Amino acid sequence: MNTYDFSAIEAKWQKHWEEHRTFRALGPGDDGFDPKKPKKYVLDMFPYPSGKGLHVGHPVGYIGTDIVSRYARMRGYNVLHPMGFDAFGLPAEQYAIETGTHPRVSTEANVANMLRQLKACALSYDWDREVRTIDPEYYKWTQWIFLQLFHSWFDPSVEKARPIAELVARLEKDDVRLDGGEVVSKSDDRFASLRAWSEFSTAEHHAALGRFRLAYIDDVPVNWCPALGTVLANEEVTNEGRSERGNHPVYRRPLKQWMLRITAYAERLLQDLNDVDWSEALKLMQRNWIGRSEGARVRFPVVGADREVEVYTTRPDTLFGATYMVLAPEHPWVDELTSADRKADVDAYRKTAAHRSELDRQADTKEKTGVFTGGYATNPVNGKQIPIWIADYVLMGYGTGAIMAVPCHDTRDFEFAQKFGLPIVPVVVPTDEWLLEQVATGAAPEGVGSSAGAGGGAGAGPDALRAAYLESPTSFQVAFTGHGKGIHSKNDEVSLDGKETPEAKRTIVAWLEGKGIGRGEVQFKLRDWLFSRQRFWGEPFPILHGPDGEIRAVDERDLPVVLPEIEDYKPIPNDDPEQPPQPSLSRAKDSWKFVELDGKKYVRELNTMPQWAGSCWYYLRYLDPRNDDVFVSPEAEQYWMSPNGVDLYVGGAEHAVLHLLYARFWHKVLFDLGHVSTKEPFGRLYNQGYIQAYSYQDARGIYVDAEKIEEKDGKFFYEGEPVTRSLGKMGKSLKNSVTPDDVMEQYGCDTFRLYEMYLGPLDQSKTWNTQAIVGIQRFLQRLWRNFVDEESGALRVVDETPDEEMLKLLHKTIHGATDDMDGFRFNTTIAKLIELNNAWVGRPSLPRVVADAMVRMLAPLAPHVAEELWQRLGNESSVSRADWPVAEEQYLVDDEIEIVVQVLGKKRGTVRVAAGASQEEIQSAAMEVDTVKPHLEGKTVRKVIYVPGKLLNIVAN
């Protein structure tokens, strides 16, 4: 092989790596494992095996982590770099429904295709550790982890999960009793009035423990689509309350669903973000999703009933301004609170609200709707009776499903009160800044203040505006929602008047707690995780349902509960929205559905787990993927995960919230139960940028083939007709998708890898341009010619020492490339290698010391050609196991340095001086530079500013 034949080279070395298991990671228990060697766990977010396969945008993160992994091996690390497939999910099931192909058949075909593509990219994964979430050997342990959740509860006294058997033991000894969802000790005054555990029936035992388990069944409001026979996510429901797929009616209704009590971990999930090396932007996204707030829980007695409506508010200082209450239409007390004359209106409204999605109900632009129930509650701070309404802008899943409405100081309440003519009472004095802002935006009333004049409020002063607001808040077009001093907020026992908001909050909470009608409380927007689906293609639950309502866990010895074969995967539709759903697994054979245990007939749980389940813990299974006895051995877990979890986790920012939050939650439960050794799963998280591409649309708005676009004078044409160009994502539907298969067939894998990295920094988005890839290919061709004589095939490398100048270039390249690789700046690493290679183009030979270092530095980036050249240099082992080159300090110091010369801050030239030159010597030389002299003629130098080794600025006039 004389010329650079990438096809032959790449096929040769990919075969070599696979046959020799070159990238196998040795862990505890493996022959040859060295426990003293530092480890590095580098992980990609594993992909869903789509039928479309990969386009060139997908591998950018995989190539980045591969470079990190190869570089780390050369720096002496024992590297774990695994890959697998997140293979359960709706797309495969939909494909099965449409084509009759079993989801496993289509999924495994997709996996095989994607596996081929990944291997073609020369990604140094340890394929011996591959996992697939659809394999029973894998989801056995997903089911096992679910059972750990089912068998555990969160003990707030120690802020951690504990086996629920411990709680039962304490209840049986009567050391504690239960008050709803709270454990009460003997020292609590309530203890004597509560029932002992021995007084509970079996059914009550099950129900009581369900209020504590981390995995439990509950009636929760969901988006139920009877025509599709399944629950839909909010994102799958249109603003018109219909299914995105099929345009079927969707209803909000309570259904029994499996839930995971992630809210118990909200505080820890929030606080432990301080311990991980993630971007602040990503941490903020998680913090906002968790949504911590401090406020108060307050009880409002219902007039004429032995009931109290409980609300949570972040602004208890505004209690005196609560002029009505609003319940969510799904609130369980609506029927009881509704008077006979209002029942028809309330029922009609609830039926309409059931068709609206949560996103639609929360939209700020939506006109407020609601109806009066006919019921009243008493405001506990002033004794006033206030009407109780229902409205769809209040959601049952947030807070308590009821709010106290303070229309003067809440935007939605203000709009609602204005529409329905409800009282609006100011209880917080607006600030000067806010009042003047309303003038500027036109929200303040016209003619306010002595200086306003006939033209309106433009010249009004804050005092006049404030008086106008307090007299008539509705004369302003918006509510004041900020902090300020209290007003109109006192009773015979407490006054908030004149107190700033923080102090007013503390004062009213203390008063509420003293009166026993409320308490300070921290709440979170985070809601418990709805964990069940009425679909087929997911992990079966290891749960049995008994005839008396008993919920029984499958014995761990009987795991996995294998997904059964069924002939029809379609969800079972039903025209009646009130009928219970029939999951796909209800079609399974009776021999699978029913289980006889202890003389009882149990039915299996027929829902399946969501796609998130398998991805919550896969990073742990990679550590010990063939262990049949435990999900991971303690030795493997402690070695690979210490001290802070996965050392580098790379994936898209679109997973910033749900996947990462769910995985952190499961990990913390496993940590509490002693199964893992770190508090957090992912010590460092890095989001790669995206590769974008231009797409083109014709006059009809239809996308046309990007490969057939012609450009003329800055305009774009398709088959002679003008088209519009836009930059965005890449995809088949946009007709701008480019597959790595096509690129690598034409240019080679090494060229493809280098080009993807050369486009720009790894964490930034960049634009794909197939035409530009040829420049990188030419670099590899020139590199080859520097090493190999293309006529004879002989190696052009010689055992001679380079001159001083070339040694300096070499070691500066090593130094700079090392720094760039440490900082994931692979684009600038490549630029330095191109510069070094160009310095040898046209020379008769290449010194071995340069050739050796160049190949080592190239190895993580373009591994095939590096392996080939490494072998030709006479090495028998893989370059992937060679040491990264080390720069010698003596060659990093320049004899001369170049100084930029400025006059009055503008660059006028440069001057080269000895590295040790003094400022006076540099100034003298600078003033003799031909391009500087004209700017100093006839002027007196007033000042000279010198930045050592970089810049000299002469101030002259």
Question: What residue numbers does the annotated binding site cover?
Answer: 732
Using alpha carbons only, what angle is made at residue 333 by residues 327 and 335, rounded to the nearest 5 degrees? 100
Q: How many CA atoms lie within 13 A of 29 on its CB side?
A: 13
In terms of DSSP bridges, do strands 691-697 and 766-767 run parallel, antiparallel, or are they unpaired?
A: parallel
Burial class for 928, CB neighbours closer than 10 Å (0-12, 13-18, 19+): exposed
CB 228 within 8 A of CB 245: yes
In angstroms, rounded to a whole number, what is the distance separating the alpha carbons of residues 677 and 661?
18
Q: Using DSSP, how many helices (H) and how many strands (E) does the chain show?
A: 29, 37
Longest dimension (CA), the chain: 110
Which residues fall within 8 angstroms of residue 471, CB to CB, at 6 or more apart? Answer: none
Q: Which residue type, as a one-letter code, is found at position 279? A: S
Q: What sign has the CA pseudo-torsion 15, 17, 19, 20?
A: positive
By C-alpha distance, which of 148, 146, 180, 207 is closest to 551?
Answer: 207
> What DSSP state is assigned to residue 187?
T
C-alpha separations of 625 from 79, 137, 149, 366, 659 in Å: 16, 9, 22, 51, 21
Rounded (to 5) percent helix, strand, coil in the chain: 40, 20, 40
Contacts of 236 (CB under 8 A, 6+ apart): 223, 243, 244, 245
Long-range residue pairs from 769-778, CB within 8 A, at least 24 positions apart, any chain: 770/738, 770/743, 773/743, 773/747, 774/747, 776/747, 776/751, 776/830, 777/747, 777/748, 777/751
Tell which residue, 242, 9, 92, has the closest CA to residue 787: 9
- Alpha carbons 267 and 846: distance in angstroms, whole number: 61
Count of beta carbons in the 10 Å neighbourhood of residue 708 = 11
Quote the CA–CA distance of 116 and 135 in Å, as a whole number: 19
Bind-site residues for ATP: 732
Quote the CA–CA distance of 940 and 935 in Å, as a whole number. Answer: 11
Q: Are the CB atoms for 787 and 795 separated by under 8 Å? A: yes
Phi, psi dihedral angles at 521 (to 5 degrees): -155, 145
Compute the Cα dihedral for 724, 730, 732, 737 and give only its sign: positive
Of 591, 673, 616, 554, the closest CA to residue 166 belongs to: 673
Structural element, H or E, at residue 414: helix 411-420
What interhelical angle do 848-858 and 826-838 show, nearest 10?
160
Whole-number Å distance between alpha carbons of 42 and 123:
12
The Cα–Cα gap between 367 and 361 comes to 10
